[in-house]
Structure 1
Amino acid sequence: MSKIPSQQLRIIGGQWRSRRLRFPAIDGLRPTLDRIRETVFNWLQFDVEGARVLDAFAGSGALGFEALSRGAKEVIFLEKHPAAALQLKDNLQLLEARNAQVWAGDALLWLEQNPEPFDLVFLDPPFHKNLLQPAIDALRLLPGALIYVEHEASLQPQWPANWQERKSKATKEFCFRLFEVVAA
C-alpha cells in the first residue's frame, strides 16, 4: 500500500495558534479555508469555550482543532476515510489533547446511533455526495445548540423549522451558515 501524501493546515487562534498540522491529500478532502475559519470563529467567539462539539465529516479536523484550541470542553471527530481518521488521532496525540475522540466510520450511522446533545455541531460533508440532508435529518439537538453548515452553492437543503439562521455568507462555489436551535 502506497503512502498517501500529506498537506498542512494552520490553527488560527487559541492556545495552539499558528501550530501546523498534517492531513492526508485525499480527493474531496477540503479543509475550511483560513479566512472562512476566521469568520466562523468570529461568529462563535463567545460560544466555543466549554462547549461539547461534534465535528461530523471531520476530514482534516480544521474546525474541531480550532474549537479545541479555543477552549472547547470536548470534541468528537467523525471521519470515514481510514487515513484521515488515523491522522486526526495522530494530531490529537501531537497536541496532547485528551478531551477529544475520533470515531472512524460513517458519520450518518454514528448520528443515528448517538442522539447526544452537543452545544456546537460542524456539518461540512464532502460536496456532491448527498450527505448533508441526511445528516441534518439525523441530528437531534436541544434549544440553544449551534450548527455551522458548509455546502455547495447549488444545494438547497431543507432546514428544520426550529433552526434559526444567525449568520451566512456565500461565494459562487459554496455557502456557509450558522444556525441556532430554538424552542419549537
Structure 2
Amino acid sequence: MGYHMPNIVQPPATESKITETEEKLGMKFNPELRELYLTINGIHLDGETPSGKTGIIPIHDLMDLDWSVNYYRDMNWKEYKEMYQINYQLGEKLFPFFNDGAGNCYWVDLNEGTENYGRIYWTNTFGEEPGYLFNSLNDFFDAILIGYESKVFSLDDEGYLDCDYKKWGQICHEIAPSVEYWKMYVN
C-alpha cells in the first residue's frame, strides 16, 4: 500500500510497563488490551509527520502507554457526564488507546463486573452522542482488517489515509449489529 504509518510503529511494551500503567491508573487490562500492547506500544509521533499519515484509521493514532496515561489523567469524567447528560451506567475505568488529537477517542471499558466490560467506548467532538461502538477490542480490529482487505481504506494522491465512510459503517454494522450508531449506514 505504501503507507507511512508502519514506519513509526513502536516496539512492544513489556509486562512490567503494562503493570506500571495499570498501577498508575488503578485499573487492570483485559486480555485483549494486554495482547495489543505486548504486540505494539502505539506509534511514535515525531512532530513532523502529518496526522493523515500516522493513523490506523484516518487520523486516529494508536496511543502508546505513556500517552494513554496522560490522556486519561486529563479527562474529567464528572464534567463529561454532565455535559453529555449521560443517562446510562458509565464507569470511569476506561482506557484510552486510539485518538485523533482533537478529542475523538476510543476507550476500552475496564470496569470489571459490568455489562460493558471489554467494550469499546467512543468520545467525540462531532456533536454526536458518545457511546459504545464495538463489543470488544477484537471486533474493533476485525473491522479495521476487513476495511483494509476490502479497500475501504486507501491512500490519496499525497499518501494520506482515506476512507469510504459509508462502507466502513456497513462493515462495523456487520460486526456489531446491536450497536445503534452503525445502523445509519445500512438504511
The normalised TM-score by structure 1 is 0.29
Structure with bigger helix share is 2
Structure with bigger strand share is 1
